Structure 1
Amino acid sequence: MTAPSGMPAALAEVVSEFAEMQGQDKLQLLLEFASELPPLPSDLDEAAMEPVPECQSPLFLHVDDTDREHVRLHFSAPAEAPTTRGFAAILAAGLDDHSADEILAVPDDFYADLGLAALISPLRLRGMSAMLTRIKRRLR
C-alpha cells in the first residue's frame, strides 16, 4: 500500500516517527534504527553485494528482485558506523518486501522529510540518497 506522498505506508510511517521528534531526539531515533538493521541471510555474503562508495562508511547492499512484487533488500554496514547503519535500517524497514513499482515511486529526496539536515552533514545525507539511487537503478 502506498501513502499519498508516493511512499509505501511503512516508509511514510518511519518518516512520521522522525517528524514527531525534535533535535537530538531525532539522532537517538536514528541510533535505534541502526541497532535494528536486520542481519544478512546466511546464504548472502558481503563479497557478493554491491558497495555504495558514496557512503562515508563501508556499506554494501543487495537487491533481490526475483519476485518483483516482493523485493528483498539486504544491507551490511559495520557497527561502528551508526549513521550509515541507521540509514540502511530506515530503507530496510520502509521498503523491504515491497513491490518494485512502489520502491521506484519513492521520491528521490524523501530523506529530507526526516528532518536530519540540521544534525547530520550533507555528505552523510548523500550516502542515503546514493543507497536509494542504487536500489532504483537495480530495479529499473
Structure 2
Amino acid sequence: MSEIILPPSLTAIRDDFLALEQRDRLQLLLEFSQELPALPPRYAEHPDLLERVEECQAPVFIFPEVDSDGIFHLHATAPAEAPTTRGFASILAQGLDGLTAQQVLDVPDDFPYMIGLTEAVSPLRIRGMLGILGRIKRAVRAHLG
C-alpha cells in the first residue's frame, strides 16, 4: 500500500488536528471558521457566480478558480451560524490555495476523514466537507477540459 502524499499545506492542517485530543479538534475547527477569507469584491457583488454546495446543511457557496498561471484559488462563503461547515470551507480554502490544478485533483477524495473529526462531528457534516471537495475537483476538471 502506497503512502498518501498530501501537499504541505494540507499536511500541516491534518497534523495540527491529529496532534490534539478529540474535544480540542472541534475548537480548532471553530478557529478555522473564523479564518474563512472574505470574498473578493468581484464575487461579493455577484453572488450569482457562486455555486451552492447542496451536500451541506448550511448554505455554503463556492467559486473554485484556476488563474492564468494554473494556480488554484477557492472563494467560499458560509454563515457564521454554521461554524462547522464554515470551518470545513476555510480548511479547504486555506489548504488548497496556491496549489496547481493537478495538485488539487491529487488530494485524496477522503481527505475530510484524515483530519480526525469523525468522532467530533456528525457524518452528515463530514458529508458536507466531502461535497465541497468533490465540487472543487469537478470545477478543476472542467477548467482543464
Q: Same fold (TM over 0.5)?
A: yes
The TM-score with structure 2 as length reference comes to 0.90
CA distance in 2: counterparts of 1:66 and 1:37, whole angstroms: 20
Q: For 1:59-138, list aligned pairs within 5 A.
A: 59-67=60-68, 69-138=70-139
C-alpha deviation, 1:66, in angstroms: 3.2
Give the letter for the 1:118 counterpart.
E
8 Å Cα contact 1:68/1:100 also seen in 2: no
Q: Runs of 4 or more off by more than 3 Å in structure 1?
A: none
Counterpart of 2:107 in structure 1: which amino acid? Answer: V
Show the counterpart of 1:15: 14
- CA-to-partner distance for each residue in 1:30-72, whole Å, 9 max, x for gaps? 0000000000001113221010011010000001113363111
SS at match of 1:43: helix
- Which residue number corresponds to residue 37 of structure 1? 36
Distance 2:69 2:14 in 1: 24
Please list every run of 5 or more consecutive structure 1 residues that lacks an aligned counterpart in the other structure: none
Q: Summarize deviations over 1:92-112 as a string: whole Å, max 9, x none.
A: 111012100000000000111
TM-score, reference length from structure 1: 0.93
Aligned to 2:25: 26
SS at 1:39's partner residue?
Answer: coil
% of aligned pairs identical?
A: 47
Tell me the amino acid that sits aligned with residue 15 of structure 2.
S
- Retained in 1: the 8 A contact 2:65–2:140? no
Matched with 1:53 is 54
- Whichever structure has more helix as a proportion of its residues is 2
CA distance in 1, matches of 2:17, 2:31: 12
Superposition RMSD on alpha carbons, in Å? 1.2
